[in-house]
Structure formats: structure tokens, C-alpha cells
A and B are shown apart, each in its own frame.
Chain A
């Protein structure tokens, strides 16, 4: 019962950290639009926090490049478990139109594990909200068991993944 309560609480209270990896700001504007009275994501208990240490959901927009991939990794590392990652927009998914640029690493999943992909250029607010709700499903899976929260989804080693997939 306790586990069920915790899971419910986790699903009901996803605090979101939004990180712009070098987006054209299209997806960022749509993401912030979710906070407006029109979409009001706070009714799902979502709050846009400015600090990875308070976040449950990492929302990444834009292309990952060689400079900001370290920042992305660091932010991910500083989030306490359990946590989920949502990549937003064409750039976040794959690098988008910039994917062949010399400085670009590619999509978010080249650096950190991504749970949900929200396509679009830019992604629509409805799609983003939909993505977050899908992420909550992932969070529900990750959430049990509570006591071993830290071990539940393991620490991701981005370098292994990055070399493995290239």
C-alpha cells in the first residue's frame, strides 16, 4: 500500500526541468506555453523548476553539441532518482537539420538515456503535454520499489552508449 501511495505521489507530482540544448527557441516557446492558463500543466501537479536537484522530469529541446553535452550530462547526473527524460522536437530527437554540422553530436539520446520522444518542428504544446503524460507512465514503472529508488533504473553511462551507437 505504501508503495502504491508513493507511486501515485510520483505520478501526481512531476517537477520539470527544462534544458535548452541550443534550440532555435521554437520548441522552448511551445514548452513554456504549456504553463500558461490556456494549457495550465499545473493541474497535473507539474511545476517548472530551475534546478535539477528538484526535478523529476528532464525536458530537453534542441541539438546536442560538443560543448553543451557536458552540461546536459551534468544536469542529468544532478537529478535525484527516479527520473525520466523527454526529448522534444526534431533537433532533440536526432539533431534535426543541424545533424551534419561539424559541432553537433546528434540527438539527446547520444548523451543520456531518453524515455520519451516528442516529435515536431516545433513540437505542439498538446504533444509536449502528451509526452509528459507518457513519461509519467515510465516513471510509474521506474518508481517501484521505493526503497531501492536509487538502484531502480541504474546509473547511465553516457559514454558507453555514445560509442556503442556510433
Chain B
């Protein structure tokens, strides 16, 4: 068991260091692929060994130095480095928040913390295992995708000296830190890994060292440092109340007092910053300047998942309190507001970013609803969102490298130029908004879970309708005609492989939703007595997920819709007698069939200008952001206030 932990957490740190030292590209590629493969296998083996691990047999020291000491030293060193970066970037906020953390941590470790009953610093239950799987498998695929991507990226930049060693150093390091974070039981370890992810994301966002990258990275750093401070403060206050830094003890503390609720609220706020919830969304948006693998890795499938993981982890501790209701409102509001903001965007990566924040909001709303159904929805959404969003980021990255733009308007008729990538992208997009894909199963559950709370369910209903708009129009414009014999797109094998594997995983795992639920999520509820008393969803014959509230027949719906789609494809292919003609342009079309060109004044050809409705006057960033942020701040303050007023059941 300890070997597996070593592989999942320590190996990435070692491998990252090796990658940093090695400058040969072939060695680096080999090492990245090897590490990725090992991580993926180790995560699966860990799952196969059981659903709960308390890692009691772990060695407490390495080379005579206790792990705890090592983590403490590393923690101070890391905070020191962040402080230095803050000074270097002349960011008062970073310096302020980091210095506060340093002082607080020092006081806490030196004067407050007393040796308590020993417990293993690591722990894994199904929730951790699911995240380990996502991080190790999806994260590894993204890192491998990064190999050809970064080669092309650097060719484009024409650097004198490759900066890839540094890039992959942070990417791989990040995987290790994330695994550590989701496996940690000791809250100080938890905090350490939390800070490592903050630092890695900062370094990766500023990787290209453009002015914009540096500015956005600094913003990400101060926001996440604020989150770190909230986290540490939460831990310290919780220690003051409960006298332990054992995460499980905090989660299972039961009927929390006002002060403890405040601490839990602070932990939730830490989760908000990391998950880029309103009003902290700007760091995630800004992070899109980084190379696409960074966006995919840190900002869709893993880093932001750390934020929702924190909240979801502690959610059972405050089930049924006012904090929980406040959380549901905050999450629901972010879901709605960011879906609206996404409509105003034409930049593909920003659409993805807003959609990410929006979906994380839904996950947090579910965490706030805090019932078994809601919890299930949240976990399923984490899984399927990671897959679909990881896939979509990689797609946009590939498209951008081919067509030189990330604007969706430039992707019109992409099927002509990149047929394979276009089909995969369309699949990825549809997997975010239509059945039988897993995201929809979780959305179905989320609505059911929210149905008792009128406000939250209204927020969710409005938000999911807005979601349809920005996805459907994007998927539609990727389609187009393709001339017979047009050149087939060429892609590096690793790129193509990564896209194909993720796309396949989205489809297959969607089919396996009942299995995922039955095997991984259902067993969790035994350890969560604080959630509602209602019986959890059952997996019936034929993959029917059902309870008294409703039923989603996963297998039948999947089979019918897939067979329907295949039949439609068959009909589409049998187009022997179909005559292909121009689009209707009032009879004055000229030129290529699918070009949309018409004969204008002076007999000159004019291309019909097409564009989506971005509705800037309603959903534009300039119009919405300020008021949405303000409302979000009010909601968060409300949530904290309600929490601190005392554990009054809502």
C-alpha cells in the first residue's frame, strides 16, 4: 500500500525534478509518458485494492527525518518562495496574504499545536479515489498531449532555449500535489498540497512570460493566496474548537457550533477561490493565456476540482445548517451568472472557462443542498465534467494550432478542414448538454435534489437553459460540407491518441454511470450519517437509476439514442440520390457550394457575413461582471454571517 502512495504522490515530485534536470527532448518525452503510465496504473491498482484505505502502515520518517517535519519545512520554504515572487511582481496583495499565512502558520506550529493522538496522515475513501483516478488518468493524458503541443508551441515562439523542462516540471509536480491533496488526512498536509497547487498554477500561467501572462498569473496568485489564508485560518479555528488537525475528526464532528461553522465557512471560501467561483472567476479567465495543456490540466480537470473537493469533503460536517443553504445559493448563483457570461463570449477558451466556473458552481450548489442525491450529482459531475472539459480544451488547443485562432467564429465549417477533430469536438460539446451523457445524468439528479428549494432550483433551471445556448451554437457551426477527396487532417500521433482516448472515455463512462454510482458513490453514504435520511438512489435492473422522485433509465436511453444516432448516420451516408446544392442566398449565389458567396454590386462576389448572437447588451462581460461580482460577494458574506450566527438549522 505504501508503495502505491509512493508512486502516486512522491514519484511525480521525483520525476518532475528529473525532467527539470534533463534537457534532452527524447528523454523528457519518455519520462513524461512513463510517469503518466505509472500514475494511471497505480491509481487503478489502488482502487482495485479497496474503497477505503487508512494507510496505517506508512513509514513516519524518511532518512531519519519525520514526514511531518519535512512537510512543515517544505511549507515554510514554499510560502517563502511565494513571498519572494510577490515581492518580485510588486504585488502587495500576494505579499500581504502570504506574510499573513507565514505568521499564522508559525504561531500555530510553534505555540498552539500540541501533539495529539497519532493518526495516519493520509486517508482515502471513494471520493478521494475518484479524484485520484481523474488526476492520474486524465491528468496524465493531458501531460502526454502536452508533448507534441509544446514542441509546436515553442516552434511558433522561436525561443533560443527551450523552456519545456520547466513546463513539464510544474505539470508533473502538479499531478503529485493534487494526488497528495485528495489523499491527505492531516490538515496541515492538506494545506501544504493546497499551496503547492497554487504555486504550480502561478508558474504555469506565467510560463510564456508575456506581459499579459505575468499580470494574470499574479492575479491568480493573490486570489489563491487569499484562499490559502482562508484555509489556514479555517484549520486554526477548527483546531481551537476541536483540538485536532485530523480531517476526519472535523468532518465527523457533528452538530457544529457557530465558531466551528465559521471555520467550515472559511474552508468553503478557500474552495471558492480555488474553484474560481464568483467573484474570484477572473483568475481562471486570465489563466487562459497559458498554453492549452495548462488550461486543460489546471483549470478544467484538476486544479479547480481541488476547490470543489475541499467543499465536498467538509460538506457533511455542516449538513442541514444555514451555512449549507448559503453555499447552495452561492453555487447556484455562480452557475447561472457564469452561464450567462459564457453566452457573451466568442473566444472558445473563455467559453470553456466560464462553462467550467458555471459547472463548478453547480457542484457547489449540490454540496450545499447536502443530500445523498445532491452528493451523487456533485461527484458524477466532477467525473464527467473533468473528462468532457479536458477533452474540449485539448480540442480547442489542436484547432488553435491548426487554424491560428481560438475564436469560435473562425471555426465555422471546421469539418471541412479538420474532420476528425471537428467530430470529436462536437461529441465533447454534446456530452456537456445532452443525454445520454453523464453530465446530463448528474444535472437530472441536481434538479431533483434542488427541487425542494425554490430559489436554488430556479437558478439551476435558468442556468441550464443558458448553457444550451452557448454549446448548441458552437457545435452547430463546426459542421459543414467536405469535398470528396479533400486532404485528411494530419496530427501528431500523441495528439490524436489523447483526443481519441478521452472521447472514447466520455462515451463509455457515460454508459457505465450506474456502475460508477453503484460501485463508487453508493458505498460512501454509510460513512455520512449527517446527510438526509432518505434512501439513496437505487440501481435497478437495466441500469435504471431510480428513487421515489424519479428514474433515469441509463442503459435503455443510451442504447436508444445511440442506435438512433447510428441509424441517422446510416441515412446520412445513403445519400446517393441526394442532390447537393447551394445554400439559399436569394438566387444570387456564386462560387463554391458551401462558401456562402453571392453576387453583389458591380458583379463583385460578396461573402455573407455570419455571426452568432452574442447579445452583448444583455449578457456581455462589461455589463454583467460588476453586478454579478457584487451579488456574489453579498451572498458569500451572507453565507458567512449565517454560519457564524450559529448552527441554526435552516
B partners with A: yes
Question: Per-residue 0/1 for B567-607: is the Cβ within 8 Å of any A Cβ (1 yes, 0 no)?
Answer: 00000000001010110101111000000000100000000
Query: A57 interface residue, CB < 8 Å from B?
Result: no
Interface segment among A72-80, A122-130, A132-140: the answer is A72-80
Query: A24 interface residue, CB < 8 Å from B?
Result: no
Chain A proximity of B574: nearest CB distance (Å): 14
Question: A-contacting residues of B (Cβ < 8 Å)?
Answer: 577, 579, 581-582, 584, 586-589, 599
Chain A residues within 8 Å of B577, by CB: 150
Question: Per-residue 0/1 for A76-91: is the Cβ within 8 Å of any B Cβ (1 yes, 0 no)?
Answer: 0110100000000000
A53 touches B584 (CB 8 A): yes
Chain A residues within 8 Å of B584, by CB: 51-53, 78
A interface residues, tally (CB under 8 Å): 13
Chain B residues within 8 Å of A75, by CB: 587
Chain A residues within 8 Å of B579, by CB: 80, 150
Rounded to whole angstroms, the CA-CA distance of A74 and B577 in the bound complex is 20
Query: A157 interface residue, CB < 8 Å from B?
Result: no
Rounded to whole angstroms, the CA-CA distance of A53 and B586 in the bound complex is 11
Chain B residues within 8 Å of A77, by CB: 581
8 Å CB contact of B587 from A74, A80, A150: A74
Chain A proximity of B408: nearest CB distance (Å): 27
Query: A12 interface residue, CB < 8 Å from B?
Result: no
The chain B residue with its CB closest to the CB of A76 is B587
B582 touches A78 (CB 8 A): yes
Chain A contact surface mostly: helix
Query: A161 interface residue, CB < 8 Å from B?
Result: no
The chain B residue with its CB closest to the CB of A75 is B587
Chain B residues within 8 Å of A78, by CB: 581-582, 584, 587
Rounded to whole angstroms, the CA-CA distance of A70 and B585 in the bound complex is 13
Within 8 A of B (CB), among A1-20: 19
Rounded to whole angstroms, the CA-CA distance of A71 and B589 in the bound complex is 9
Question: Per-residue 0/1 for A27-60: is the Cβ within 8 Å of any B Cβ (1 yes, 0 no)?
Answer: 0000000000000000000000001110000000
A70 touches B581 (CB 8 A): no
Chain A proximity of B507: nearest CB distance (Å): 35
Rounded to whole angstroms, the CA-CA distance of A74 and B582 in the bound complex is 9
Chain B proximity of A34: nearest CB distance (Å): 22
The chain A residue with its CB closest to the CB of B589 is A74
Chain A residues within 8 Å of B587, by CB: 19, 52, 70-72, 74-75, 78
The chain A residue with its CB closest to the CB of B581 is A78
Sample of 8 more A-B contacts, CB < 8 Å, known A70-B587, A75-B587, A78-B587: A19-B587, A51-B584, A52-B587, A53-B581, A53-B584, A71-B588, A78-B581, A80-B579
Rounded to whole angstroms, the CA-CA distance of A78 and B599 in the bound complex is 16
Chain B proximity of A154: nearest CB distance (Å): 13
Chain B proximity of A76: nearest CB distance (Å): 9
Chain A residues within 8 Å of B586, by CB: 71
Chain A proximity of B611: nearest CB distance (Å): 22
Rounded to whole angstroms, the CA-CA distance of A78 and B586 in the bound complex is 10
Rounded to whole angstroms, the CA-CA distance of A17 and B599 in the bound complex is 21
Chain A residues within 8 Å of B582, by CB: 74, 78
Chain A residues within 8 Å of B588, by CB: 70-71, 74
Chain B residues within 8 Å of A74, by CB: 582, 587-589
Rounded to whole angstroms, the CA-CA distance of A70 and B587 in the bound complex is 8
Rounded to whole angstroms, the CA-CA distance of A75 and B579 in the bound complex is 15
The chain B residue with its CB closest to the CB of A77 is B581
Chain B residues within 8 Å of A71, by CB: 586-588
Rounded to whole angstroms, the CA-CA distance of A37 and B298 in the bound complex is 66
Chain A residues within 8 Å of B599, by CB: 70
**Pairs A–B under 8 Å by Cβ, sample size 26:** A19-B587, A51-B584, A52-B584, A52-B587, A53-B581, A53-B584, A70-B587, A70-B588, A70-B599, A71-B586, A71-B587, A71-B588, A72-B587, A74-B582, A74-B587, A74-B588, A74-B589, A75-B587, A77-B581, A78-B581, A78-B582, A78-B584, A78-B587, A80-B579, A150-B577, A150-B579
